[in-house]
Amino acid sequence: MKNLFVLGSTGSIGRQTLEIVKENPGEFSVVSLACGSNIELLIEQIKTFKPKVVAVESEADHLKLHELFPELIIGHGNQGLVKAATYGPNSPEPLVVNALVGILGLIPTIHAIEAGRNVALANKESLVAGGNIIKRLLSEEKTKLFPIDSEHSGLWQLLQGEDPKSVQKVYLTASGGSFRHYERSELVHVTKEEALRHPNWEMGAKITVDSATMMNKGFEIIEAMHLFDLPLEKVETILHEESLVHAMVEFADGSIKAQLSSHDMRLPISYALFYPERRPTPVPRLDFASLGKIGFAKLDHERYPLMKVVLRAIRTGGSAPCAVNAANEAAVNLFLQGKIGFLDIEILVSDALDHHLPIQNPGIADILNTDKNIKQSIYDRYLDKQGDRP
């Protein structure tokens, strides 16, 4: 029996995590649930999983839940998330699932590690913005990150039992996102609804837009570098429309291992929850005979210019990846609110990096300040009402 702390329980990854918990009775005790504002779903989850602690975004929802569940420990805002990640003793074995979206996930990840807990991490933005801080803490606290992202779960599986020194190169595959068959000239007037129609995956809104701009793949390069101690030169990206091969590793002898499965996040989530065991999942099996051909193609950085921006941020180092993440979070939010066009996302992110004075070896305060200042300067340009800012 593992104690589970599920941050982002109402989101795409959070819901699938709880589905796996439900399908494996007696394996997990859900100690905490945390979400933003989907209180209706949270109430259902509280009734089903009977957590001891819940956290929500606003104080108003906190008070509402207190009326309904007076016996629950409830928190809100950042402190609520930290409580949901660190509550109680470390026995039975705790596992914090961080399925929050955005840099919001950074502080709970840090506190979970400091509390001596392993973290099953879907929240890639926390590694992008604060990867060096997290890495340092992991080595001090001897805790681990279990990747949930499908490509990184693939790499994790492929690297088991291999000598890291024999790794020549790793490949992260990219589906190409919602507009993969569009010319750049056709992207000028694309809508939010079109951007949110991903051809292969059903995911939260932000990551679906990030897939369409290819920022998601850029972030995954940073994620892979931190998770597997890889230099940039060893991380390659490649287009693979079918999303069946999630990752590949080329070894010193020229052998290449690939991880394949249906595009279904329940597999990487299950692998992280049960690691080091593999458990049966309801994930559809691949039938190679009926697959026919699958394809790979070069990821064109002229077609997806945010790849160039993110590579520039990686080479600059320090707070530069955090700056790019902050600008991207604000720009995607503005796009989803209908305040800017799809191609403006690229302009705002590139512009933010151009104007950012990178801080080398940033601490937590530097990261949070960089994030706040960049978002504020973007929101100030486009939003009048404070209420439209997340």
- Contact residues for ligand NAP, defined by CB under 6 A: 8-14, 34-38, 57, 99-101, 104, 122-125, 149, 201, 203-207, 265
For residue 111, the minimal CB distance to ligand NAP (Å) is 14
State which residue, 44 or 93, has the beta carbon closest to ligand NAP. Answer: 44
> What is the C-alpha to C-alpha distance for residues 386 and 15, in angstroms, rounded to an integer?
30
CB of 31 closer than 8 Å to CB of 42:
no
Residue closer to ligand NAP, measured from CB, 3 or 109: 109
Shortest approach of ligand NAP to residue 226 CB, angstroms?
A: 14
- Cβ closest to ligand NAP, residue 78 vs residue 359: 78
User: Smallest distance, Å, CB 275 to ligand NAP?
Assistant: 17
Token representation of residue 187: 């992207």
Minimum distance, C-beta of residue 54 to ligand NAP, in the bound complex (Å): 11
Q: In angstroms, what is the C-alpha Rg of the chain?
A: 20
Nearer to ligand NAP, 48 or 168 (CB): 48
Residue 92 CB, nearest distance to ligand NAP (Å)?
Answer: 25
Label the pairing between strands 167-174 and 245-251: antiparallel
Instruction: Using CB positions, name the residue nearest to ligand NAP.
Output: 11
Three-state secondary structure string covering the chain: CEEEEEECCCCHHHHHHHHHHHHCCCCEEEEEEECCCCHHHHHHHHHHHCCCEEEECCHHHHHHHHHHCCCCEEEEHHHHHHHHHHCCCCCCCEEEEECCCCHHHHHHHHHHHHCCCEEEECCHHHHHHHHHHHHHHHHHHCCCEEECCHHHHHHHHHHCCCCHHHEEEEEEEECCCCCCCCCHHHHCCCCHHHHCCCCCCCCCHHHHHHHHHCHHHHHHHHHHHHHHCCCHHHEEEEECCCCCEEEEEEECCCCEEEEECCCCCHHHHHHHHHCCCCCCCCCCCCCHHHHCCCCCECCCCCCCCHHHHHHHHHHHCCCHHHHHHHHHHHHHHHHHCCCCCHHHHHHHHHHHHHHCCCCCCCCHHHHHHHHHHHHHHHHHHHCCCHHHCC
Cis peptide before 92 (omega within 30 of 0): yes
User: Least CB distance from residue 277 to ligand NAP, whole Å?
Assistant: 22
Nearer to ligand NAP, 205 or 258 (CB): 205
Pick between residue 100 and residue 227 the one whose CB is nearest to ligand NAP.
100
Find the shortest distance in angstroms from Cβ 191 to ligand NAP: 19
Residue placing its CB nearer to ligand NAP in the complex, 72 or 205: 205
In the complex, minimum distance from the CB of residue 26 to ligand NAP, in angstroms, rounded to a whole number = 25
Nearer CB in complex with ligand NAP: 11/362: 11
Residue 82 CB, nearest approach to ligand NAP (Å)? 11
Which one, 60 or 252, has the nearer CB to ligand NAP? 60
